[in-house]
Amino acid sequence: MQLKLAPASPIPMYLQIVEQIRHAIAAGVLKPHDELPSVRALALEHLINPNTVARAYLELEREDLLSKRRGAGTYVSAQAEALGGAHRLRVVSQLLENAVTAAGEFGLTAKQVRTLLEERLKKAEVER
Amino acid sequence: MDRPAIAVEGLTRKFGRCLAVDSLTFEVPAGSVCAFLGRNGAGKTTAIRMMMNLLEVTAGRATLLGLDSRRDHTALMHRIGYVADTPLPYDWMKVKELVWFTAGFHPQWNQTLVNSLLDRFNLDREQKIRHLSRGTQAQLALVLALGGDPELLILDEPATGLDVVVRRDFLESIIQLMQQEGRTVLFSTHMLHEVERVADQVIILDRGRLIKSGAMDDLKLDSGLSLEETFVEVVAPKERA
């Protein structure tokens, strides 16, 4: 998994890391029992403060997505897959909300939006 | 984390009628990287020079690592690394001579680290200091500051005039130092984007006074602004369209 961090963003860096790891778990890029890079390695790779990485890992441990094994690093927890479901729904719901907001601003009708969504889903099915 | 690495109380400096630093009070928690920000002439260097006991205070005090910056100056110099915004002294010495000379002041000198940093920065040990470029001098100053294995590293505009690659080396060195428990870094700079990478604490000065301080994450969460937006808002509110 490759993190894409934007230091100049108004979103704190630790939250960017949290969000991207959550996303990677929900998308199955990171699987239960996968090992994460050490705080030190990640900090040096991205030239960021180790405290920032530590804070992100701590937050994800609190959500039970990561678990620390004493003296053996940080891993994706066994129950992370189940917890990822909520994240998947939340992310897609947020993206749909953005689309609906834009549609409202452009004056599209509910019917037009529904048609667009149906077409999209059909196209995705074909591509799959 | 209990005792702050830096505690500044009412620090004040007058130059004639000009109040360069005005009742500055702040704390920097141990184990953090603190960005010391402000426009040119905001008082950053004056404040740092008073903290380093290189300049008399008009009023107030600075406590570093629990020790008084004036009374315990000698003891502190063994535990603090400092990179000034001025060229290196003793510019007639060779690199290896200045390294040896500096090592003499530090009981905890880490020659292995110094050697590896000299190699990484490609510093020629036989070259005279005065023949080094400005960027190379800044690198050497950082190496010398890190050589004493400092608990507190104070950098005054370390990145100014350095190219991107050297600045990255600088950040890397800071991050490597931070891997050790309880190490604290304070650095003044204009490079806001680099600050956002490494700093977890921010102090902003304007015309000698503290106008904003706090944890970087809190600053962003509370305001919803980037550091640059916050900076412009607090130091130049009227200049914004």
Q: Which domains are assigned to chain A?
A: 13-81 (1.10.10.10), 84-127 (no CATH)
Extract the tokens encoding B129: 């200091």
In the prediction, which pLDDT does B180 show?
81
Q: Model pTM?
A: 0.84
Q: Check B223 against A14: CB less than 8 A apart.
A: no
Closest CB from A9, A13, A50 relative to B178: A50
Cβ atoms B94, B128 nearer than 8 A? yes
Secondary structure of chain A as H, E, C letters: CCCCCCCCCCCCHHHHHHHHHHHHHHCCCCCCCCECCCHHHHHHHHCCCHHHHHHHHHHHHHCCCEEEECCCEEEECCCHHHHHHHHHHHHHHHHHHHHHHHHHHHCCCHHHHHHHHHHHHHHHHHHC
- Please give, rounded to a whole number of angstroms, the shortest distance from the CA of A111 to a CA of chain B: 35
Task: Please name the amino acid found at residue A42.
Answer: L
Residue-wise pLDDT for B158-202, tens only, equals 777 778 888 888 888 888 888 887 899 999 988 888 888 899 999
Local confidence band at B11 (pLDDT 50, 70, 90 cut-offs): very high
Instruction: Enumerate the residues of chain B whose CB falls inside 8 A of the CB of residue A7.
Output: 193-194, 196-197
Q: From CA B23, how far away is CA B35, in angstroms rounded?
A: 19
Q: What is the pLDDT of residues A50-73, one digit of tens each?
A: 999 999 999 999 998 999 887 778
Interface test with A, best of B169, B179, B186, B201 (most A CBs within 10 A): B179
Six token digits for residue B215 = 């944890």
> Using CA atoms, how far apart are residues B38 and B157, in angstroms rounded to an integer?
11
Closest Cα of chain A to B230: distance in Å?
A: 10
